[in-house]
């Protein structure tokens, strides 16, 4: 199985129980890949899911309709918004 060189390799050391390492090695073998590649691919995928759950907001149907209505017909600015706009530096 060819290895693809990665520029800017970083090293990460992990201490895990031997049973856990055996489990990871077995899973990597099943997918016919190296342990490092298996762990990296799996952990990066899990990390992306965590980030997506943190950064993405799912709206209910009612909330989605409300947001769309606000976008189509935004409310007039209130006094606080007008004061904040006046406090912004002037563009030249």
Conformational region of residue 8, where left means phi above 0, alpha means psi within -120 to 50, and beta covers everything else: left
Residue 21 structure tokens:
């390492």
| Count of the separate structural domains present in the chain | 1
pTM of the shown model: 0.57
| pLDDT per position as a tens digit, 26-52 | 999 999 999 999 999 999 999 999 999
For residue 77, give its domain range: 18-87
Instruction: Mean pLDDT check: name the lowest of 18-22, 44-48, 55-59, 70-74.
Output: 55-59
| pLDDT score recorded for residue 3 | 64
pLDDT(1) > 80:
no
66-71: long-range contacts at Cβ-Cβ below 8 A with a sequence spacing of 24 or more?
Answer: none
**C-beta of residue 27 within 8 angstroms of C-beta of residue 39:** no
pLDDT(13) > 70:
yes
Q: Is residue 9 part of a domain?
A: no
Q: Is residue 72 part of a domain?
A: yes
Q: Is residue 10 part of a domain?
A: no
């Amino acid at each position: 199985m060819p290895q693809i060189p990665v520029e800017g390799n970083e090293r990460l050391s992990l201490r895990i129980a031997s049973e856990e390492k055996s489990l990871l090695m077995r899973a990597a073998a099943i997918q016919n890949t190296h342990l490092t590649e298996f762990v990296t691919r799996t952990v990066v995928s899990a990390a992306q899911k965590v980030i997506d759950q943190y950064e993405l907001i799912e709206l209910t149907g009612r909330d989605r309709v409300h947001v769309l209505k606000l976008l189509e017909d935004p409310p007039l600015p209130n006094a606080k918004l007008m004061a904040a706009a006046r406090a912004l530096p002037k563009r030249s």
